[in-house]
Chains A and B, each alone.
Chain A
Amino acid sequence: MPSDEDEMLQAMGLQRIDDLFADIPAAVRIPKIDLPDGLPELTVVRHVTSLLSANRTMAEMPTFLGGGLYDHFVPASVRAITSRSEFYTAYTPYQPELSQGLLQALWEYQSLICELTGMDAANTSMYDASTALGEAARMAHRIHGGNVFLVPRALRHNRKAVLANYLNGTGVEAREVDYDRGTGMLDLTKLEAALSPAVCGVYVENPNFLGRFEEQLAEIRALTGAVFVVGVNPIAQAVVRPPGDFGADIVIGEGQSLGTAVNCGGPLLGIFACRQEHVRKMPGRVIGLTRDVKGHRAFCMTLQTREQHIRREKAMSNICTNESLLAVAAAAFVAVQGSNGLRRLAAENIRRAKELAASIDKISGFTAPVFNGAHFNEFVVRYKGDYSAVHRGLLARGVHGGLSLARQLPELSDSALFATTERQKADDVNRLLQALEAVA
């Protein structure tokens, strides 16, 4: 029997595959790619596994890093759901009749995000929280017109850096508002001084980068008529009043905590939600509720005239491929937990951080938490000397400490941000405390 290749070539009256490339001029041809030839699956699996074994994972080494990404436990059912290949091998649901399952799952994700945040509408995802912030600033500018966007000075540096690029070409300038050195919350006097008619938007995070709950959302809303953008931790939202209650216009956040592994920083899930009045100015894919011609409830992508493939250079954003599968994971995670599970999880994370801070504070040479008031799952620890020595000492004892703040905020160069989740065992915490005692 002839091979597919032979038969197809013959049908077209061609002799060889090379005939199909006759339109590529000789001047641009290459003999072959400068790589070795292919390897059997088993060899590749062995190679990649062996190469990655040089990593020290959070499973092997008690690790107290947060700073935007958190090592929460992911129930097996979440991965079982996202491993359904009808979901993970699909493209964007351009054809709604064939894609109702994914469309309903994404519409439910939007609905769950709205329940958590108190917003009316959400998109199906941005790349991560940093790009969600960049898009939120651009949207604030579209809504308001002003050319200044205020952000906390105590904002993680990678978010500031991404924001700067997303504002390139808009004429909007990001300005920083300092935090209160005692509470770690936004300094409202400084905010008031920074406000002007040119301010198109004000961004705050709750909890903020320093782990502190931002307790002044109502006061901040009252100070400004600009677009109010609030960054959230979706798990904290289970026990914290939603930004919608405080008059927020846009809510963003990092959704990785909801059912996705930390994955060395990607893929991540940018949460993006807003009030109904702003939906036509929102970036990204959205799923709408509608009917089919027989009157059945149905879902489809909608408001596509905001998007790049229709509106081209006038689009709200260039985003096309997003993080849909992680949105499905987030919805599945929330569904598996339910209100009860999510509220317990949030409470446990607050309690653990509180207890860990108190334990660290008892060790001579350390102060924790540095800022007064309630924290979510992370807090700042100050050391009496050079923190980098503590970091190295912990690593030498098989423990990974928090995120050094030296690169983030110079006044906290002797400090680090320590995070905890439900995933750490009592023994992990004991190892940290013993190691801190030893290096102090």
Chain B
Amino acid sequence: MSFRQAYWDEPLLLEKRSAPDDRVDVADLVPPNLRRERLGIPNLPEHEVVRHYTRLSQMNFGIDTGFYPLGSCTMKFNPKFTEELAALPAVARMHPDQDEATMQGALRLLYELQDMLARIAGMDAVTLQPAAGAQGEYTGLLLAQAYHRDRGEERHQVILPDTAHGTNFASAGMLGFEIVEIPSKDGRVDLKALEAAAGEKTLAFMLTNPNTLGIFEDRVLDIAEVVHDAGGLLYYDGANFNAILGRTSPGKMNFDIVHFNLHKTFTTPHGGGGPGAGPVGVRGPLEPFLPVPVIGLDGRGYHLNYDRPKSIGKVRAWYGNFALLVRAYAYILRMGADGLREVSDHAVLNANYVRHRLQGVLDVPFGGLRKHEFVASAAKLASRGVRTVDLAKRLMDFGYHPPTVYFPHLVEEALMIEPTETETMETLDGFVDALTKIVGESPETLHGAPHNTSVARVDEVQAARDPILSWRTAKARGST
């Protein structure tokens, strides 16, 4: 496949020629010491603004543009009908402080979505409040802390495998917990290392299964036993949920807490970095600690319950990213139990197929099956002066978004490839053919890549050395 991305020498909004400022008199409206007379924002015709953003969009790559095998991010096609539902006035023009009697539809949807997610995860209760996966982790750890404290225990160690997502470390770190990192053995949790680490200080062990190598932790019940015997809780990082729908569940694997990434598994589009949604499911004993309000149902209808003495309080304002929750609700109804199982069937089929076809082209450490993703290594190309970053940049020239690179850290020169279920064999073959061709290309071609994108290789070191994060700062430095 050949590809050439648009390039517009598009000025900044703030560089465009502005129509004159009108006089807007606020003398009788704003106290004198607060009054502002001028705002440095240009006055532009609407069509110029629309053109500006249309041109910028043409210099951007989304799932609708092409294959996006970004490992751990589950970049599947986002169905369009959920966009229309999320834009309904019954979603967009609801104020969260409205009287419960006027928001019965919204509350019912939330209540039913909680139930659906609980069934999918094998959990007893769900909160929809967290705004993203990392906030779900944060919420889950707060719940674990509250649970232990309620039992008179102060535990402050969080155990993490070396394959864990960076957010796991950061979420535990934000709460001041001590992190005990354990090494993997053959791409899985080393049970002996876990046994040595687990004890009376263990708050929780956070694990994603399949792990970030795409390998299923087949001794998960033994892992759960070790953690539970130490009095700790087992936390499921839901980033990789796309691999197990209808085959197993965190509940069945004896996890106590789980977060979902609705923008991954349940296909709410990622918006170029967000919004997402990170609901959290728990087992019964943790239910009293869920954030307020909890959505209840009684003879009078659905209601918001704030009277929860053991609750951890709130992790963000109101009830969660409602418009995203509507999309996930609609998606789950559309797929159903049978469709969700097919999601995982095809996500796993596609990942294993790409891995199979890449054998001999790149090394893939660790044997056996993979689930929704796998990690290849370009370490053997180092002798030719070629690194993973070069392969990633060159893939763009063929119209593919590169995989996640240099993660997880235990694989040298890593490429983490997650095709997702919504890709055809034709697309996967095209990708493998391109990568195969690239691996055979000269180091000069690769170092010069990308050639066909809007701009050439970007100097990220310079950006960090002297950070210019706004037009004001750029002007002050004379570096526009």
**B88 interface hit (Cβ, 8 Å):** yes
**A362 interface hit (Cβ, 8 Å):** no
Q: Which residues does chain A contribute within 8 Å of B384, judged by CB atoms?
A: none
- Minimum CB–CB distance for A219 against chain B, Å: 10
Q: A213-B34, A262-B94 are in contact. Are A320 and B463 (CB under 8 A)?
A: no
Q: Which residues does chain B contribute within 8 Å of A332, judged by CB atoms?
A: 49, 53
Please determine whether B104 and A45 come into contact, CB atoms closer than 8 angstroms: no
In the complex, what distance in Å separates the CA atom of A93 from the CA atom of B456? 15
**A425 interface hit (Cβ, 8 Å):** no
| B58, B221, B453, most chain A CB atoms within 10 A | B453
In the complex, what distance in Å separates the CA atom of A338 from the CA atom of B18? 9
**B385 interface hit (Cβ, 8 Å):** no
Q: A125-B274, A310-B166 are in contact. Are A264 and B62 (CB under 8 A)?
A: no
Q: A30-B252, A86-B65 are in contact. Are A290 and B463 (CB under 8 A)?
A: yes
Q: Which residues does chain A contribute within 8 Å of B169, judged by CB atoms?
A: 308, 312-313, 315
A 291-311 contacts with B by CB, 8 A: 291-294, 296, 298-300, 302-305, 307-311
Q: A115-B472, A289-B474, A331-B13 are in contact. Are A95 and B104 (CB under 8 A)?
A: no
Please determine whether B41 and A317 come into contact, CB atoms closer than 8 angstroms: no
Q: Which residues does chain A contribute within 8 Å of B2, judged by CB atoms?
A: none
Please determine whether A38 and B333 come into contact, CB atoms closer than 8 angstroms: yes
Q: Which residues does chain B contribute within 8 Å of A299, judged by CB atoms?
A: 458
Q: Which residues does chain B contribute within 8 Å of A96, judged by CB atoms?
A: 455, 458, 460
Please determine whether A339 and B39 come into contact, CB atoms closer than 8 angstroms: yes
Q: A32-B337, A242-B36 are in contact. Are A100 and B455 (CB under 8 A)?
A: yes
Q: Which residues does chain A contribute within 8 Å of B34, judged by CB atoms?
A: 206, 213, 215, 217, 240-241
Please determine whether B177 and A169 come into contact, CB atoms closer than 8 angstroms: yes
**A335 interface hit (Cβ, 8 Å):** yes
Q: How large is the interface on B (under 10, 10 to 19, 20 to 34, 35 or more residues)?
A: 35 or more
Please determine whether A49 and B472 come into contact, CB atoms closer than 8 angstroms: no
Q: Which residues does chain A contribute within 8 Å of B471, judged by CB atoms?
A: 108, 111, 114-115
In the complex, what distance in Å separates the CA atom of A38 from the CA atom of B336? 4
| A23, A217, A280, A311, most chain B CB atoms within 10 A | A23
Q: Which residues does chain A contribute within 8 Å of B269, judged by CB atoms?
A: 88-89
Report which of A27, A29, A287 forms a contact with B469, defined as CB distance below 8 A: A287
Please determine whether B457 and A35 come into contact, CB atoms closer than 8 angstroms: no
Q: A120-B469, A374-B29 are in contact. Are A24 and B216 (CB under 8 A)?
A: yes
Please determine whether B456 and A97 come into contact, CB atoms closer than 8 angstroms: yes
Please determine whether A28 and B252 come into contact, CB atoms closer than 8 angstroms: yes
In the complex, what distance in Å separates the CA atom of A197 from the CA atom of B464? 33
**B179 interface hit (Cβ, 8 Å):** yes
**A51 interface hit (Cβ, 8 Å):** yes
Q: A240-B30, A339-B21 are in contact. Are A321 and B334 (CB under 8 A)?
A: no
Please determine whether B470 and A114 come into contact, CB atoms closer than 8 angstroms: yes
- Minimum CB–CB distance for A140 against chain B, Å: 15
- Minimum CB–CB distance for B396 against chain A, Å: 5
Report which of B18, B19, B275 forms a contact with A326, defined as CB distance below 8 A: B275
Interface 9-mer from B131-139, B226-234, B280-288, B373-381: B131-139
- Minimum CB–CB distance for A389 against chain B, Å: 14
Please determine whether A55 and B105 come into contact, CB atoms closer than 8 angstroms: yes
Q: A89-B269, A97-B393, A331-B13 are in contact. Are A33 and B322 (CB under 8 A)?
A: no
A 250-291 contacts with B by CB, 8 A: 261-268, 276, 279-280, 285-291
**B383 interface hit (Cβ, 8 Å):** no
In the complex, what distance in Å separates the CA atom of A268 from the CA atom of B330? 21
**A218 interface hit (Cβ, 8 Å):** yes
Interface 9-mer from A159-167, A188-196, A427-435: A159-167
Q: Which residues does chain A contribute within 8 Å of B326, judged by CB atoms?
A: 48, 52
In the complex, what distance in Å separates the CA atom of A332 from the CA atom of B53? 8
**B44 interface hit (Cβ, 8 Å):** yes
Please determine whether B35 and A241 come into contact, CB atoms closer than 8 angstroms: yes
In the complex, what distance in Å separates the CA atom of A265 from the CA atom of B318? 6
In the complex, what distance in Å separates the CA atom of A294 from the CA atom of B458? 9
Q: Which residues does chain B contribute within 8 Å of A17, judged by CB atoms?
A: 345, 348-349
Please determine whether A325 and B170 come into contact, CB atoms closer than 8 angstroms: no
Q: In the complex, which residue of chain A has the Cβ closest to the Cβ of B49?
A: A335
In the complex, what distance in Å separates the CA atom of A24 from the CA atom of B215? 10
Please determine whether A338 and B134 come into contact, CB atoms closer than 8 angstroms: no
In the complex, what distance in Å separates the CA atom of A307 from the CA atom of B166? 9
Contact with A along B449-475 (1 / 0, CB 8 A): 010011111111011100111111110
Contact with A along B49-78 (1 / 0, CB 8 A): 110111111111111110010100101001
Please determine whether B62 and A321 come into contact, CB atoms closer than 8 angstroms: no
Q: Sorted from nearest, which 7 A-B pairs have the closest CB atoms?
A: A313-B173, A169-B176, A265-B318, A325-B271, A38-B336, A265-B96, A324-B273
8 A-B residue pairs with Cβ-Cβ distance under 8 Å, sorted by A, are A52-B106, A53-B105, A85-B64, A88-B62, A101-B454, A261-B91, A289-B463, A347-B29
Q: Add 13 more A-B contacts to A264-B91, A290-B458 (CB < 8 A).
A: A12-B352, A17-B345, A33-B340, A38-B335, A97-B457, A121-B470, A263-B322, A293-B459, A296-B456, A302-B469, A323-B273, A328-B272, A332-B53
